């Protein structure tokens, strides 16, 4: 009996060992490829067609085997047992894109991120492809995708304030509305169709216009379809200025009043405050509105110069144009003045001035006497 049990154990261990060796020596291969935005829809990546970030999934009989992300447009899977599979790409853009931008006193928000999961995409190649993995080989499957719409999110600003909830935001191309949404809590998120998703709308490279309650609005910067945080501004007769600098490096100090002047006419003012930014304590202001001359006589004219005056000092200048603008502040402040920031003391400098003047007088007089003596010896007798 004991012998039979021992023999059974030996057989069981042998089977386990043999099974393990079979798994370790199993024939495997791999698969790799590219995911790209196929602008012209021909299924082939051209030099000017961008790589896309997507998730790629390998399935066997409907069961997920491996997944990979195409972080730089490329994906790769290895150690796949030989056999028949299906590989597929996720159409929706689930990657997170972020915007850069200033922070501190800007009336627009700090850098933010937005997920374009709502963008409609179609595959110009097959979205799921049957593939056979063979031992010691690497198969290649590329995926071409084409966007049938674009999207971005941002703030809507009308006049001198954020747009009220319910404000209608529309994307318009040659008179046709290609997408719309409304403002909620000052923000909007707009998905709009291009010519692939909706006939008559903008094609790649065309300029799409945007409106707020039917009035043409301006983007806060050049539109980039890969930069998904942009803001819409509607200011026909107002210019909104803001400024900031590190405390002690600019002429402004907390509590000062800054007056905006156009050709000597006072056209707006703001009070300087402090806040903290990434580089340290900031001083500046976020809201100095200068109306056009149509609203306030003698004020803003397109292309005219606005001076920002604090006391008798000009803190900066800017060109008047409707919209939101940052002012470059003068880099003159307490850190540049003698005695830790106070006015220069004439009394303390007088002894040095007198001493230097005396030295110059003595050395200059001696040099002059020597020069005259030398010239007298050179004169003809």
CATH, residue 80:
2.60.40.10
Burial class (CB in 10 A: 0-12, 13-18, 19+), 74: middle
Pick the last residue of a domain from 234, 258, 292: 234
- Whether residues 155 and 132 share a domain: the answer is no
Instruction: Scan for tokens 């030989």, then name that residue.
Output: 82
Question: Using CA atoms, how far apart are residues 210 and 199, in angstroms rounded to an integer?
Answer: 18
- Whether residues 67 and 167 share a domain: the answer is no
The pLDDT value given to residue 306: 95
- Whether residues 314 and 261 share a domain: the answer is yes
Residue 133 CB partners (closer than 8 Å, separation 6+): 28, 29, 30, 31, 80, 81, 82, 83, 84, 85, 139
- Whether residues 47 and 153 share a domain: the answer is no
- Whether residues 249 and 329 share a domain: the answer is yes
| 343 in a structural domain | no
The pLDDT value given to residue 356: 38
Instruction: Scan for tokens 């043999």, then name that residue.
Output: 18
3-state secondary structure of 33: strand
Residue 296 CB partners (closer than 8 Å, separation 6+): 267
- Whether residues 331 and 243 share a domain: the answer is yes
- Pair type for strands 238-246 and 323-326: parallel
DSSP structure string for 97-158: EE-----SS-SSPPS-EEE-TT--EEESS-SEEEEEE-TT-EEE--EEEEESEEEEEEEEEE
- Whether residues 134 and 187 share a domain: the answer is no
Pick the last residue of a domain from 316, 336, 356: 336
| 46 in a structural domain | yes
Q: What is the span of the domain harbouring residue 298?
A: 238-336
- Whether residues 202 and 266 share a domain: the answer is no
3-state secondary structure of 345: coil
Structural domain count of the chain: 3
| 211 in a structural domain | yes
| 270 in a structural domain | yes
- Whether residues 270 and 206 share a domain: the answer is no
- Cross-strand partners of 176: 173
The pLDDT value given to residue 222: 61
- Whether residues 29 and 141 share a domain: the answer is yes
- Whether residues 64 and 154 share a domain: the answer is no
Pick the last residue of a domain from 186, 208, 234: 234
Q: Say which CATH number the domain at 210 has.
A: 2.60.40
| 20 in a structural domain | no
The pLDDT value given to residue 34: 95
- Whether residues 188 and 256 share a domain: the answer is no
Question: Using CA atoms, how far apart are residues 289 and 116, in angstroms rounded to an integer?
Answer: 34
The pLDDT value given to residue 249: 82
Question: Using CA atoms, how far apart are residues 165 and 189, in angstroms rounded to an integer?
Answer: 13
| 170 in a structural domain | yes
pLDDT, block means (10 residues), the chain with 381 residues: 42 36 69 91 89 92 92 92 95 54 60 52 91 95 86 84 92 86 84 74 76 89 61 90 85 88 94 80 89 94 92 87 85 39 38 42 39 32 33
| 328 in a structural domain | yes
* Residues 212 and 168: beta-carbon distance below 8 Å: yes
| 110 in a structural domain | no
């Amino acid at each position: 009996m004991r012998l039979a049990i021992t023999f059974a154990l030996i057989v069981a261990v042998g089977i386990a060992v043999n099974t393990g060796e079979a798994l370790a020596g199993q024939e495997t291969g791999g698969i790799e490829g590219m995911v790209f935005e196929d602008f012209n829809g021909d299924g082939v990546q051209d030099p000017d067609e961008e790589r896309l970030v997507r998730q790629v999934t390998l399935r066997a009989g409907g069961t997920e085997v491996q997944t990979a992300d195409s972080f730089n447009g490329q994906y790769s899977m290895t150690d796949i047992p030989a056999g028949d599979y299906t590989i597929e790409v996720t159409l929706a853009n689930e990657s997170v894109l972020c915007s850069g931008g200033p922070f501190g006193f800007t009336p627009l928000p700090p850098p933010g991120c937005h997920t374009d999961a709502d963008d409609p995409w179609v595959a110009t190649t097959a979205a799921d492809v049957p593939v056979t993995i063979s031992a010691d080989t690497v198969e290649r499957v590329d995926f071409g995708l084409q966007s049938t719409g674009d999207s971005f999110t941002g703030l809507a600003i009308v006049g001198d304030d954020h747009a009220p909830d319910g404000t209608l935001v529309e994307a318009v191309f040659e008179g046709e509305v290609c997408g719309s949404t409304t403002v909620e809590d000052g923000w909007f998120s707009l998905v709009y169709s291009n010519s692939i998703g909706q006939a008559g709308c903008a094609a790649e490279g065309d300029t799409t216009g945007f409106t707020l309650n039917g009035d043409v609005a301006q983007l806060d910067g050049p539109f980039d379809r890969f930069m998904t945080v942009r803001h819409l501004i509607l200011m026909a007769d107002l210019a909104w200025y803001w400024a900031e600098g590190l405390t002690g490096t600019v002429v402004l100090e907390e509590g000062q009043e800054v007056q905006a002047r156009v050709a000597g006419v006072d056209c707006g003012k703001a009070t300087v405050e402090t806040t903290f930014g990434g580089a340290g304590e900031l001083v500046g202001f976020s809201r100095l509105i200068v109306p056009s001359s149509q609203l306030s006589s003698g004020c803003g004219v397109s292309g005219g110069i606005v001076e920002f005056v604090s006391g008798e000092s000009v803190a900066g200048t800017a060109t008047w144009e409707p919209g939101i603008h940052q002012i470059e502040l003068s880099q003159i402040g307490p850190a540049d003045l003698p005695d830790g920031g106070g006015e220069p003391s004439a009394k303390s400098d007088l002894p040095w001035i007198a001493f230097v003047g005396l030295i110059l007088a003595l050395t200059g007089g001696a040099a002059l006497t020597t020069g005259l003596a030398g010239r007298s010896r050179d004169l003809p007798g």
